[in-house]
Amino acid sequence: MAQNPESRLFIGGRWIEGRKTFPVVNPYTGAEIARVSAAESEQVEEAVQAAQSSGMSSLTGAQRHALLETVAGEIRRRSAELTALLVRETAKPLRYAAAEVDRAAQTFSFAAEEARRIHGETLELDAHPQGLGHFGFYHRFPLGVIAAISPFNFPLNLVAHKLAPALAAGNSVVLKPASATPLIALALADIIAGAGAPPGAVNVLPGKGAELGLALVRHPRVRMVTFTGSLEVGRTIRENAGLKRVTLELGANSAVIVEDENRLEEAVKRCQVGAFAFSGQVCISVQRILLNRKLADSFLERFLAGVASLRRGDPMDPETEIGPMISETEARRVESWVNEALDGGARALTGGKREGSYYEPTVLDQVRHEMKVYSRELFAPVVCIERYSDFEEALLRANDSEYGLQAGVYTESMDKALLAFRRLQVGGVMINEYPTFRVDQMPYGGVKGSGTGREGPRFAVEEMTELKLCVIRT
Ligand code: NAD
């Protein structure tokens, strides 16, 4: 499969040739690895129709559980070829691609568990005098057709985070994967169909986001949009979705605060991975490191030594830690933002150069908050250093962002940890851990410009079901 990935549209359980195609390019070699069919508006219609008539909602909990467990098993069985495909499509270093494939299997397994425990509760209606003589309960029902729109950076596991809970809850999905990385999503659709999903349960429409994505978002029979991607596109989706349910998993410029020295070595190592894994193209990558002045020099000395030792190379090589960005256009954007910061008085402690689509791991000091490298989502192997003297001041600075996805705090004080938990305006606070920490069952999502709603199978199932009440007069 990875040698010859499916490259057509997947609608109603069938592979369909599109009238037009577009290339998918290996960002490391620059070679075209496939020409993929591009869906058009009539196929949006066909896919929504197929999804609506899939019969997913009549599968039993046991059937949905078995389907999702079979998918998880198949992902594990084919992990080597899926990993290779992921590396070729994204240039994600092998070690991180393999971890993503493993996580995708976990995501399906966690969702399989949820398929067996969709439930409601009984209600104390006689707590109100007029409720006397009434018995009430509610249950959760599938919404129907869900449109899923996904980004390039975790093109397997983030698709899994949409498809698996949607199917667990008895919904069907029309997926629009990122244009740069549709092949792994098509491979996953193949696995789901092979595992026995009803035709139409999952449909995949590669193509242009602005056309297909919006057609799905506006479609009257789509009941929910689950989107992961940039703030800019998230805003457009929110404006066009009307009364549909919308989950938005958007960007961030995540901060980590290093307050105490007790775990300095650990903090240094985690920040190195958090800032530079997959060239920083991770929604919870470390973009801002806030250091207590008392430990800033010893942190930086170790951190810069670690950055210098990062192994650059072929993403297919298991030793490689850093490769190219997804495209030269992206690397050029980063170059211009960093140059703007340097012109404005920031200092590069290391890095600051671009070669084609490769951008050097870069550490910036003396950065002002209004600079793009600090205030916007960089999504690149670049990290900003800031020093502070007072912990509460550090919390304020971490909150000085239009985003709020996750934050990390290294401290040995329980009081400070709890203060951070209360004050930080984010969806998740990681204590003695980097903001990049995620395991797939946890509730994951942001506040402010980082979006609305939560993923993680249990929480996504709640978002993807409708609560319906039943009252019985006794
Ligand atoms: P993007 O916003 O450019 O694209 C995401 C998806 O939206 C793609 O499938 C694209 O084709 C589609 N799209 C583009 N324009 C559209 C429109 N007008 N209407 C509907 N759909 C449209 O994002 P990207 O560059 O692929 O991914 C990077 C972004 O994703 C970053 O901002 C990153 O932080 C974010 N992200 C967030 C999370 C999270 O869970 N919070 C996870 C991963 C990535």
Retrieve residue 271's tokens: 């920040």
Per-residue pLDDT at 308 exceeds 80: yes
Query: pLDDT tens digits for 280-293?
Result: 999 999 999 999 99
Are residues 407 and 304 located together in one domain of the fold?
yes
How high is the pLDDT of residue 3?
A: 45
Residue 102 phi, psi (nearest 5): -60, -40
pTM of the model as a whole: 0.97
pLDDT band per the 50, 70, 90 thresholds, residue 2: very low
Share of the chain above pLDDT 70, in %: 99
Q: What is the mean pLDDT of residues 357-366?
A: 98
Whether 444 maps to a domain, the answer reads: no
Reduced to 3 states (helix: H, G, I; strand: E, B; else coil), residue 226 is strand
Write the CATH number for 420.
3.40.309.10
Closest ligand 1 atom number to CA of residue 180: 26
Of 40, 89, 271, 283, the active-site residue reads 283
Reduced to 3 states (helix: H, G, I; strand: E, B; else coil), residue 385 is strand
Whether 225 maps to a domain, the answer reads: yes
Per-residue pLDDT at 189 exceeds 50: yes
pLDDT band per the 50, 70, 90 thresholds, residue 140: very high
Q: Is the CB of 225 under 6 A from ligand 1?
A: no
Structural domain count, the chain: 2
Are residues 27 and 145 located together in one domain of the fold?
yes
Q: What is the mean pLDDT of residues 383-408?
A: 98
Q: Is the CB of 184 under 6 A from ligand 1?
A: no
Best residue for ligand 1 mutational test, from 22, 96, 152 (most atoms within 8 Å of Cβ): 152
Are residues 28 and 121 located together in one domain of the fold?
yes
Are residues 355 and 457 located together in one domain of the fold?
no
Are residues 222 and 312 located together in one domain of the fold?
no
Closest ligand 1 atom number to CA of residue 151: 26
Whether 232 maps to a domain, the answer reads: yes
Are residues 202 and 132 located together in one domain of the fold?
yes
Are residues 163 and 272 located together in one domain of the fold?
no
**Annotated catalytic residue 283:** yes
Whether 64 maps to a domain, the answer reads: yes
How high is the pLDDT of residue 260?
A: 97
Q: Is the CB of 452 under 6 A from ligand 1?
A: no
Whether 409 maps to a domain, the answer reads: yes
Instruction: Please enumerate in sequence order all residues whose Cβ is within 8 A of that of 24, keeping only pairs 6 or more positions apart, or say none.
Output: 7, 32, 33, 34, 35, 36, 89, 180, 181, 182, 183
Are residues 179 and 275 located together in one domain of the fold?
no
Q: What is the mean pLDDT of residues 325-348?
A: 98
DSSP secondary structure of 325-346: -S-HHHHHHHHHHHHHHHHTT-
**Which residue type occupies 425?**
Q
How high is the pLDDT of residue 5?
A: 64
Whether 445 maps to a domain, the answer reads: no
Q: What is the mean pLDDT of residues 288-317?
A: 98
How high is the pLDDT of residue 6?
A: 84
Are residues 110 and 202 located together in one domain of the fold?
yes
Question: Domain limits at 219?
Answer: 5-251+450-473
- Paired strand residues for 290: 257, 386
Instruction: Please enumerate in sequence order all residues whose Cβ is within 8 A of that of 173, keeping only pairs 6 or more positions apart, or say none.
Output: 51, 145, 146, 147, 148, 162, 163, 166, 167, 201, 202, 203
Residue with structure tokens 């390019």? 25
Residue with structure tokens 């980004």? 151
- The mean pLDDT of the chain is 97
Per-residue pLDDT at 4 exceeds 60: no
How high is the pLDDT of residue 1?
A: 41
Are residues 37 and 179 located together in one domain of the fold?
yes
Q: How far is the CA of 150 from the centre of ligand 1 (A)?
A: 6
Write the CATH number for 240.
3.40.605.10
Ligand 1 atom 35: residue of nearest CA: 229
β-strand 406-410 against 428-431: which pairing, if any?
parallel
Query: pLDDT tens digits for 73-127?
Result: 999 999 999 999 999 999 999 999 999 999 999 999 999 999 999 999 999 999 9
Are residues 310 and 217 located together in one domain of the fold?
no
**Could you give the CA distance from residue 181 to residue 158 in angstroms, rounded to a whole number?**
12
Are residues 412 and 467 located together in one domain of the fold?
no
Whether 299 maps to a domain, the answer reads: yes
Whether 260 maps to a domain, the answer reads: yes
